[in-house]
């Protein structure tokens, strides 16, 4: 199976690899997946409290090229979005943009989960109720 | 000059040696006869070529030519050897002993036997990849008719103690079958010294053609027979019907001869290159060799690079280097390598493994290139691995409640 050019590009030149300061109240962290399953994503967002806009996003991913590309693309999309816009990102948008084959759809689902988990972490830190999402089977 | 791309997946298949192709070519066109045609020169020529190849193959494993049954490959050989014994010796018993790290061609054949009323014991292997001989002996029952233990493992290259295994089999009057696919042609295999009764192997793992293999079936002490799984014209002493694949057989014969003559030299050269590769790569932090180095094929190395995922790792260089990984992502199933898991490795280490299979045409500059490319990619991916960061911060990954999916 050959990788799409976009996956190769994100894998070779990943955007926004790194770590934000977890202890800050305006940083939300999502850690999803499991080492046993072969992929773990950590996605972090930094939010401007006043406007609710995501000012920075970073990721680190243990996984295949498609998992790395999905998280790299997700961080690119998150920057500049409001939390409401970010929560609406659907995994199928990542699939389309990266031309992921069916066996790699779970990578995009994981990235969507990471976004939602980061948003909920931010909400929890700021005394907001956590959003409830439908359980998904990866 | 460095030749790219580099092929280091020789456990999957080997390139055919040009000398083998040369030997085969006339048998596609000029000498196209059916080896079973007894009444004209076309048939005689084909038969002569087959007889010669049978000798070449027999010589490689210390067998008598009459003990060689040509098959389509090792999967057929595994099926014929195991099912053939199960059916032929049904009156003696129905119990077979094998181990969990066998190739699927053996494991799935054993599953079939279980569905057909047989009983199979699957021995666990030790963390070094070898079976425990006491456990083997303890598993033998009055109904045991066959022990099936592979000679060398395809994923980690460990060589099972064949002489000790056959001594146990002999002592209890049980037949010994071995899947010799990875060992034959690479290391000295001698059916008499090793005490093997039946052995499957194939051309394309020893620089011969695909689609041709052989099953060794012992003719004396004891005389072994297997029930044919393919009915027809009674070829191959009635054990494997079907018109003989003469060009393939000629190729297998030539490949066997070259292996016999060049094995010692190839093995010495490749084990040096393998050791160089392995010693360089385990210099990286948290890199572990899988399978015992004390009893291992000279050209194989399986290494886990903790905290990076195998398929992600391959992607860093797979344009230039062909390798396999134990990661689930590289296989059709969603499970990581069952062989590595059988060694007691966690799924995470199984996901992080690469298998290096060197071959006759591997060069030192290719190994140097591979060391550099793999090292660089491991370091790069660790920089973007959350697990590596946690490990570096001293966080126990087992203490985290992961969301399994």
Is any Cβ of chain B less than 8 angstroms from the Cβ of A14? yes
Query: Which of A42, A64, A75 is best to mutate for the B interface (most B CBs within 10 A)?
Result: A64
Are the beta carbons of B384 and A64 separated by less than 8 Å?
no
Question: Whole-number mean pLDDT of chain A?
Answer: 93
Task: Decide if B167 contacts B195 (C-beta within 8 A).
Answer: yes
Query: Which of A22, A63, A102 is best to mutate for the B interface (most B CBs within 10 A)?
Result: A63
Question: Whole-number mean pLDDT of chain B?
Answer: 96
Is any Cβ of chain B less than 8 angstroms from the Cβ of A33? yes
Q: Express each pLDDT in A25-45 by its tens digit.
A: 999 999 999 988 889 999 999
Query: Which of B307, B315, B336, B376 is best to mutate for the A interface (most A CBs within 10 A)?
Result: B315
Give yes or no for a cis peptide into B177 (omega within 30° of 0). no
Residues facing B6 on adjacent strands = B321
Task: Decide if A39 contacts A69 (C-beta within 8 A).
Answer: no
Q: What are phi and psi of B379, to 5 degrees?
A: -65, -40
Distances (CA, A) of B104 to B154, B182, B227, B276, B310: 11, 14, 21, 31, 21
- Average pLDDT on A89-97 reads 95
pLDDT at A103: 87
- Average pLDDT on A42-66 reads 96
Distance separating alpha carbons of residues B378 and B372, to the nearest angstrom: 10
Is any Cβ of chain B less than 8 angstroms from the Cβ of A99? no
Residues of B annotated as part of the active site = 329
Listed by start position, the domains of chain B span 6-11+263-398, 18-259
Q: Name the DSSP class of B40.
A: S
Share of chain B above pLDDT 90, in %: 92
Band of the pLDDT at B404, cuts 50, 70, 90?
low
Distance separating alpha carbons of residues B90 and B88, to the nearest angstrom: 6
Check whether A1 has a pLDDT greater than 70. Answer: no
Distance separating alpha carbons of residues A56 and A27, to the nearest angstrom: 9
Residue A104 is encoded by which pair of tokens? 């790699």
Check whether B331 has a pLDDT greater than 60. Answer: no
Check whether B317 has a pLDDT greater than 60. Answer: yes
Share of chain A above pLDDT 70, in %: 96
* Beta strand extents in B59-174 (DSSP E only): 68-71, 95-99, 119-123, 144-148
Secondary-structure class of domain B18-259 per CATH = alpha beta
pLDDT at B405: 55
ipTM: 0.93
HSE of A44, CA atoms in CB hemisphere, 13 A: 19
Check whether A19 has a pLDDT greater than 60. Answer: yes
In a domain, A132, yes or no: no
Band of the pLDDT at B344, cuts 50, 70, 90?
very high
Are the beta carbons of B387 and A67 separated by less than 8 Å?
no
Are the beta carbons of B384 and A60 separated by less than 8 Å?
yes
Are the beta carbons of A65 and B315 separated by less than 8 Å?
yes
pLDDT at B300: 98
Distance separating alpha carbons of residues B243 and B235, to the nearest angstrom: 7
In a domain, A135, yes or no: no
Share of chain B above pLDDT 70, in %: 98
- Average pLDDT on B188-217 reads 98
Check whether A138 has a pLDDT greater than 60. Answer: no
Compute how many other C-beta atoms are within 10 angstroms of the C-beta atom of residue B391.
17
- Average pLDDT on B354-360 reads 97
In a domain, A64, yes or no: yes
pLDDT at B328: 62
Place of tokens 């390598």: B337
Distance separating alpha carbons of residues B35 and B297, to the nearest angstrom: 36
pLDDT at B383: 96
Compute how many other C-beta atoms are within 10 angstroms of the C-beta atom of residue B153.
31
Check whether B401 has a pLDDT greater than 90. Answer: no
* Beta strand extents in B236-344 (DSSP E only): 287-289, 300-305, 321-322, 324-325
pLDDT at B333: 58
Q: Express each pLDDT in B123-162 by its tens digit.
A: 999 999 999 999 999 999 999 999 999 999 999 999 999 9
pLDDT at A134: 73
In a domain, A133, yes or no: no
Q: Express each pLDDT in A95-110 by its tens digit.
A: 999 999 998 999 999 9
In a domain, A47, yes or no: yes
In a domain, A28, yes or no: yes
CA dihedral sign of residues B338, B340, B344, B349? negative
Is any Cβ of chain B less than 8 angstroms from the Cβ of A19? yes
All residues at 6 or more sequence positions from B52 whose CB lies less than 8 Å from its CB, including other chains? B250, B253
What are the helix and strand counts (H, E) for chain A? 5, 3
In CATH, what number is assigned to the domain containing residue A55?
Answer: 3.90.1010.10
Q: Express each pLDDT in B251-293 by its tens digit.
A: 999 999 999 999 999 999 999 999 999 999 999 999 999 999 9
Query: Going by CATH, does the domain composed of B6-11+263-398 fall within 3.90.1150.10?
Result: yes
Distances (CA, A) of B266 to B206, B273, B286: 12, 11, 31
Band of the pLDDT at B231, cuts 50, 70, 90?
very high
Q: What are phi and psi of B393, to 5 degrees?
A: -85, 0
The number of folded domains in chain A is: 1
- Average pLDDT on B91-100 reads 98
> Nearest-CA distance from B373 to chain A in Å?
14
Distance separating alpha carbons of residues B89 and A81, to the nearest angstrom: 72
Which residues form the domain of A71?
Answer: 5-125
Band of the pLDDT at B397, cuts 50, 70, 90?
confident
pTM: 0.94
In a domain, A31, yes or no: yes
Check whether B68 has a pLDDT greater than 70. Answer: yes
Band of the pLDDT at A3, cuts 50, 70, 90?
confident
Is any Cβ of chain A less than 8 angstroms from the Cβ of B327? yes
Distance separating alpha carbons of residues A51 and A62, to the nearest angstrom: 32
Band of the pLDDT at B334, cuts 50, 70, 90?
low
In a domain, A138, yes or no: no
- Average pLDDT on B66-88 reads 98
Residue-wise DSSP of B235-262: TGGGTS-S---HHHHHHHHHHHHHHHHH
């Amino acid at each position: 199976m050959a990788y799409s050019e976009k996956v190769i590009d994100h894998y070779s030149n990943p955007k926004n690899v790194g770590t934000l300061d977890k202890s800050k109240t305006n940083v939300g962290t999502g850690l999803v997946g499991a080492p046993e399953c072969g992929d773990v994503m950590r996605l972090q967002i930094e939010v401007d409290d006043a406007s609710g806009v995501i000012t920075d996003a970073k990721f680190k991913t243990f996984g295949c090229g498609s998992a790395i590309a999905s998280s790299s693309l997700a961080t690119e999309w998150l920057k500049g979005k409001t939390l409401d816009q970010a929560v609406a990102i659907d995994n199928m948008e990542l699939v389309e943009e990266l031309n992921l084959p069916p066996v790699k759809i779970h990578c995009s689902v994981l990235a969507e989960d990471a976004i939602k988990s980061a948003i909920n972490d931010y909400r929890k830190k700021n005394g907001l109720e956590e959003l409830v999402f439908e359980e998904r089977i990866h | 000059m460095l030749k790219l791309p580099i092929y280091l997946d020789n456990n999957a298949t080997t390139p055919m040696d040009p000398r083998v192709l040369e030997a085969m070519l006339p048998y596609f066109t000029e000498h196209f006869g059916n080896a079973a045609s007894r009444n004209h020169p076309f048939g005689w020529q084909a038969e002569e070529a087959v007889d010669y190849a049978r000798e070449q193959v027999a010589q490689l494993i210390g067998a008598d030519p009459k003990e060689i049954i040509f098959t389509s490959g090792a999967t057929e050989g595994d099926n014929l050897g195991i099912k053939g014994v199960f059916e032929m010796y049904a009156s003696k018993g129905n119990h077979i002993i094998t181990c969990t790290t066998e190739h699927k061609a053996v494991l799935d054949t054993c599953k079939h036997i279980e569905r057909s009323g047989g009983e199979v014991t699957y021995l666990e292997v030790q963390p070094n990849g070898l079976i425990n001989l006491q456990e083997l002996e303890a598993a033998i029952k009055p109904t045991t008719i066959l022990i099936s233990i592979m000679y060398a493992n395809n994923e980690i290259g460990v060589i099972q103690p064949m002489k000790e295994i056959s001594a146990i089999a002999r002592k209890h009057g049980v037949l010994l079958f071995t899947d010799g696919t990875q060992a034959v042609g690479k290391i000295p295999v001698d059916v008499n010294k090793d005490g093997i009764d039946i052995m499957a192997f194939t051309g394309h793992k020893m620089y011969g053609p695909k689609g041709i293999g052989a099953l060794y079936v012992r003719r004396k002490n004891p005389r072994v027979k297997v029930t044919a799984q393919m009915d027809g014209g009674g070829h191959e002493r009635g054990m494997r019907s079907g018109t003989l694949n003469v060009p393939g057989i000629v190729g297998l014969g030539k490949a066997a001869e070259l292996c016999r003559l060049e094995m010692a030299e190839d093995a010495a050269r490749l084990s040096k290159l393998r050791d160089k590769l392995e010693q360089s790569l385990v210099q990286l932090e948290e890199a572990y060799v899988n399978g015992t180095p004390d009893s291992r094929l000279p050209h194989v190395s399986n290494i886990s690079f903790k905290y990076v995922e195998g398929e992600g790792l391959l992607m860093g260089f797979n344009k230039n280097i062909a390798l396999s990984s134990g990661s689930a992502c590289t296989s059709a199933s969603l499970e990581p390598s069952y062989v590595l898991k059988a060694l007691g490795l966690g799924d995470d280490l199984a996901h992080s493994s690469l298998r290096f299979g060197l071959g006759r045409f591997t060069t030192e500059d290719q190994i140097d290139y591979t060391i550099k490319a793999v090292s660089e990619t491991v370091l790069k991916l660790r920089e973007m691995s959350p697990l590596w960061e946690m490990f570096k911060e001293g966080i126990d990954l087992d203490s985290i409640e992961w969301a399994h999916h």
